[in-house]
Chain A
């Protein structure tokens, strides 16, 4: 995939709004159907909350946001230099059928990421966690 834009943010919850604005502005230009923007925003928030909460024990706490595209897809890569963590493997599986009293909230974020994106990939590369959130682009009629 080809890099469209890249920006580094401090990995703080207070920056999630700015990061979302940066990503959605580019996503709109890159023909992401408007109905998919809430999906992208949700996947992004869930992934960023994880990074802001768990990735770093000490500063500098940074997350690099890389936006990539190919003919068919738009991808948001979140890159952090925190402790190795694959949310797709390590997050708990929520029991969706549990009654209210037994229902816990763990693992919901990763479940939502999986369900609202078209693809999600994790890789550890050069001491970095890289999580890719992929949404398919709208097909343009010629």
Chain B
């Protein structure tokens, strides 16, 4: 798993590359909570290059979304495909996190 973070105005775009599973989710959680600590508020997770996610990955994204919300921010996800989109739908995560089809739509969602 690799995270590529870029800041655009008041928004942070993070591309999540690879796999978000039981082995990598703790790294995601640690790094992503540090962004909120560092002042990031509007965080867009671009999942176009995320190949695989399990409940451990969902839990890490939930932890980030809660922390961002508690700090007055928000998390949006975009560009999900394949099994990642399927897992989001099954778990109902697409009901409480704004989901956009592409990055442009994701940036507009805040």
Contact = CB atoms under 8 A, between A and B. Distances in A.
A45 B22 contact: yes
Contact of A38 (B52, B65, B91): B52
Interface in A92-140: 94, 96-101, 103, 105, 108-109, 111-112, 115-116
Contacts of A16: 21-23
A46 B57 CA distance: 11
Contacts of B1: none
A16 B52 CA distance: 14
Contacts of B86: 116
A115 B90 contact: yes
Interface residues of A, number: 26
B55 interface: yes
B22 A13 contact: yes
Contacts, number: 65
A38 B83 contact: yes
Nearest to A49: B22
Contacts of A100: 62, 65-66, 69, 96-97
Chain B binding surface, main DSSP class: helix
Interface in B58-108: 58-59, 62, 65-66, 69, 82-83, 86-87, 90-92, 95-97
Chain A binding surface, main DSSP class: helix
A38 to B, nearest CB: 4
Contact of B52 (A41, A49, A96, A101): A41
B19 to A, nearest CB: 10
B59 to A, nearest CB: 4
Contacts of A109: 54-55
A98 to B, nearest CB: 8
B14 interface: no
A84 interface: no
Interface of A: 13-14, 16-17, 38-39, 41-42, 45-46, 49, 94, 96-101, 103, 105, 108-109, 111-112, 115-116
14 contacts: A39-B83, A42-B83, A42-B87, A45-B21, A94-B91, A94-B92, A96-B92, A96-B95, A100-B96, A101-B66, A103-B62, A105-B58, A112-B91, A116-B86
